[in-house]
Structure 1
Amino acid sequence: MPGRAGQLLERGLRTLTGESGGAPDPVRARRTDICLALLCGLLTTLNLHDVHRFGLVSDYPTSLAAGWLAAASLLWRRSRPWLPALVATAATVVSDDRGPLVFAAYALAAYGRAHRWGGVLLMAVAYAATRDLFLPLGYAGRDPASFVLGSVLVPALYGETVRRNRRVMAALRERARQAHAAVDQAADLAVVQERTRLAQRTHDGLGHRLTALTMQAAALRLDAGADPRVREGAAAVEESARAAMAEVREVLDMLTDPAGSRSHTSPVDVGRFLGSLARNMRATGMEITHHTQPGLGAFPAADGRLLLRIAREGLTNAAKYAPGSAVRMNLYTGDGEVRLDVVNTAPEGERIVLDSGGMGIPGLRAALAEVGGRLRSGPGRDGGHMLAATLPDRRVLA
């Protein structure tokens, strides 16, 4: 019970003085100060009214005005704690109400800066020296020492305790902030290290294999004794390997430089790349026609890469799920938009069963949505399939 009673008393004192133990809220602190000043003025009025009935106050109006003035000075107890200390001490000369003095002593110890305890001692001495000036002759009051102890020193000691508690809490909050910052830095470092490891493994594995494939295809293409069709196929393989190597380098740049300071930002001639992609797919036996609107120019890097992703996805799906079909790929603009259509007819051969991650179309749809575009994927008119992508026209015109 004593421990619980102490906790309840401390909670009541914190509520009465406006201390919560956490970071101060300016609006809440101001409201607390206003309520405290009004409460102190009301208690002063009630106390003076009672003692006035017994004839212990010689000048009731003056005492009441002094008490309310001291209560009003508590509005500045946080920003200027010396003000309520001086006003409350002066008010005790004409009034025996100690309510404002209690809160002023607390405020000076809790919020004062230099020489605050010197000010507390001056308040105690001034109150002890002047408290008997206004009392009627022959009044037998209590010992002034008990008045000084209860009205000045005890509230000041509690204010000092609250002041130190605030410092401890501030230090703990700063330590917690530094700990969170250290954890965030460690997490960021772990991500960078993992990205670097993946980039190194990709470069050492896939990068070297693509380089070897490119060199072998180039050697076969330059072999004068090889069959022309073989040389044509080797040229297509070489071009595909070089394009794949460029994409691998781009992915490695993204892994090692996620902020994008080294990312590819040059405009992309999508029409030229689509033509190269169509030639490569023809070398595999796919029947494909390709049309690009004349004079399109170059596209921003992000839009160009996105259009190439859409074209590859459409051609890959046609090869996987509609073997032997004829594919038509069109790129054109109009009404402030760019549109890329990849349409294939109904499949004629046996369907090739391949594993699919199921992320191609949803990933493209999400990427298009980020740039204000849209994607339609569904059956075509002749039983085939159509992939139609539309995005805002942000071409880089010469």
Structure 2
Amino acid sequence: MRLSWWEGKRWVVAFDILVAAGLTVLPFLEDKGPAVKWTSVLVSLVVFGGFVVRRRFPLVAVAVTPVGLAFPSLQIMIAAYTVASRKGLRWQALASAVYCSVVVVVWPVPRRDAYSWPEALASCVLFVGAPMMLGLWVYQRRALLQALRDRADQAERERDLRAERVVVAERRRIAREMHDVVAHRVSAIALQSGALTMTAPDEHTEQVAEVIRRSSTAALTELREILQVLRDEQPGEPSHVAPALSAVPVLVDDARATGLDVQLELPDPVPEPAPAAGRAAYRVVQEALTNAAKHAPGQPVSVVITADADELVVEVTNPREATRRAGEAPSGGSLGLVVVDEKRGRAADGGVPGSGYGLVGMRERVSLAGGQLEAGWVEDRFRIRAVLPMKVAE
């Protein structure tokens, strides 16, 4: 026997055992009950076993009703209800109704007068018909509830499928837009910078053009894999190594090659945080250096990375600009600094527009890695400070 026979509930098992024990012991508690013999004990065990497994084998409970040691009215009512509630309006229920009716009418019990037809009919209706009607109602109600649950589950699955199709269509639309716009522009940058590398008039221009070419080529590689993720439901493994904390020195060297004054302090040896924390730290430094190059060209930038057993701290700071138009507030919401070019009489911000989502993206990355990000002015320096866990939280 398995617990699933009783709907997986222990209290149902206990209830059936109590009912079977009561039906078995009740005849012996009467004043003129049967004498306790091995035959009566055997009959009681048969009735007990039949009613314990009545939910799984309702016909067994029906079959053992005639062997009761007293008039089996209560056994017949329970057996008729069980068959109807478990099998519904099928041949098992009809056969059980006939069988139980015969037992009620002809069961050998000492009595002075035989049943009259009205009494027999009333007994059949009371002990067989009423329990079966109640069992059929319970069966239909259970079937209706199951149908409603199946319909709700089907509606939920269809809704999920529709939502998935909408998401896939939107992802492919975004992939097309990124390919048609971003990939084309970055490819043009890579080609022009490569040509400039070959025809540069001096070594410094050649170095800057080479940095631009490498950066745009790397951007094209990552963009191609992003497009693959957006288009394919099961993309393969990325062909490039995911950025990590160990790649920060290379990132700083590329920034220095563009003319940015960057000071890097990194533990030796370089710590190995959780992959998510390492990627988040790399992206924080990358975004902070990009903002500094756009909004504060010529200003020194300090990148300090410290780590202990529990936390990885990334701190990027730069001072306020030395020259600013009178009454002009810092531009932008990130490293919002504007340096005035005295010769050209305009802000030397490089003409690079910001997306406005730099800090938002950094906060999201750090939050997904389980850390916290702080950004704002501290005295005369703008500071971005990210605190990341060294290990993945259990």
Q: TM-score, normalised by structure 1?
A: 0.69
Output the CA distance in 1 between the equivalents of 2:213 and 2:114.
116
Which residue is 1:386 aligned to? 383
TM-superposed deviation, 1:138:
8.5
Q: 2:105 aligned with 1:122, yes or no?
A: no
SS in 1 for 2:322: coil
Contact 1:199–1:255 (8 Å) recurs in 2: yes
Contact 1:253–1:263 (8 Å) recurs in 2: no
Output the CA distance in 2 between the equivalents of 1:292 and 1:258.
39
SS in 2 for 1:344: strand
The residue type paired with residue 309 of structure 1 is R
- Of 260, 274, 285, the residue aligned with 2:252 is 274
Contact 2:73–2:104 (8 Å) recurs in 1: no
Q: 2:54 aligned with 1:77, yes or no?
A: yes
Aligned-CA RMSD value: 4.4
Which residue is 1:26 aligned to? 9
TM-superposed deviation, 1:125:
1.6
Q: 2:338 aligned with 1:341, yes or no?
A: no
> Against the structure 1 CA distance between its residues 316 and 263, is the aligned structure 2 distance closer, same or farther, given a 3 Å change threshold?
same
Output the CA distance in 2 between the equivalents of 1:271 and 1:291.
10
Contact 1:322–1:348 (8 Å) recurs in 2: no
> Against the structure 1 CA distance between its residues 363 and 258, is the aligned structure 2 distance closer, same or farther, given a 3 Å change threshold?
farther
Contact 2:271–2:307 (8 Å) recurs in 1: no
Which residue is 2:224 aligned to? 249
Which residue is 2:183 aligned to? 207
Output the CA distance in 2 between the equivalents of 1:145 and 1:229.
111
Contact 2:255–2:289 (8 Å) recurs in 1: no
The residue type paired with residue 149 of structure 2 is R
Output the CA distance in 1 between the equivalents of 2:152 and 2:53.
32
Which residue is 1:61 aligned to? 33
SS in 2 for 1:348: coil
Contact 1:323–1:349 (8 Å) recurs in 2: no
Report which stretch shifted further, 288-297 or 233-242: 288-297
The residue type paired with residue 33 of structure 2 is P
Q: TM-score, normalised by structure 2?
A: 0.69
TM-superposed deviation, 1:161:
4.7
Contact 1:266–1:301 (8 Å) recurs in 2: no
The residue type paired with residue 251 of structure 1 is I
Residue correspondence of structure 1 range 222-261 to structure 2 within 5 A:
222-223=198-199, 226=201, 228-257=203-232, 261=236
Output the CA distance in 2 between the equivalents of 1:376 and 1:164.
62
Which residue is 1:11 aligned to? none
**Structure 2: stretches of 5+ with no match in the other structure:** 1-5, 335-354
> Against the structure 1 CA distance between its residues 114 and 28, is the aligned structure 2 distance closer, same or farther, given a 3 Å change threshold?
farther
Contact 1:120–1:153 (8 Å) recurs in 2: yes
Output the CA distance in 1 between the equivalents of 2:307 and 2:85.
72
TM-superposed deviation, 1:213:
1.6
Report which stretch shifted further, 180-189 or 370-379: 370-379
Q: 2:347 aligned with 1:364, yes or no?
A: no
Q: 2:65 aligned with 1:88, yes or no?
A: yes
SS in 1 for 2:263: strand
> Against the structure 1 CA distance between its residues 126 and 320, is the aligned structure 2 distance closer, same or farther, given a 3 Å change threshold?
same
TM-superposed deviation, 1:202:
0.4
Which residue is 1:195 aligned to? 171
Q: 2:168 aligned with 1:185, yes or no?
A: no
Output the CA distance in 2 between the equivalents of 1:388 and 1:197.
36
Aligned residues: 351
> Against the structure 1 CA distance between its residues 156 and 333, is the aligned structure 2 distance closer, same or farther, given a 3 Å change threshold?
closer
SS in 2 for 1:143: helix
SS in 1 for 2:199: coil
Output the CA distance in 1 between the equivalents of 2:165 and 2:156.
14
Q: 2:96 aligned with 1:104, yes or no?
A: no
Output the CA distance in 1 between the equivalents of 2:250 and 2:56.
71
TM-superposed deviation, 1:153:
3.6
- Of 261, 267, 271, the residue aligned with 1:287 is 261
Give the share of equivalent positions with the same residue, in percent: 25
TM-superposed deviation, 1:136:
3.1
Which residue is 1:4 aligned to? none
**Structure 1: stretches of 5+ with no match in the other structure:** 1-22, 50-58
Output the CA distance in 1 between the equivalents of 2:206 and 2:267.
30
Output the CA distance in 2 between the equivalents of 1:138 and 1:289.
111
> Against the structure 1 CA distance between its residues 279 and 341, is the aligned structure 2 distance closer, same or farther, given a 3 Å change threshold?
farther
Residue correspondence of structure 1 range 319-338 to structure 2 within 5 A:
319=293, 322=296, 324-331=298-305, 338=312
Residue correspondence of structure 1 range 147-166 to structure 2 within 5 A:
147-166=123-142
TM-superposed deviation, 1:151:
1.7
SS in 2 for 1:343: strand
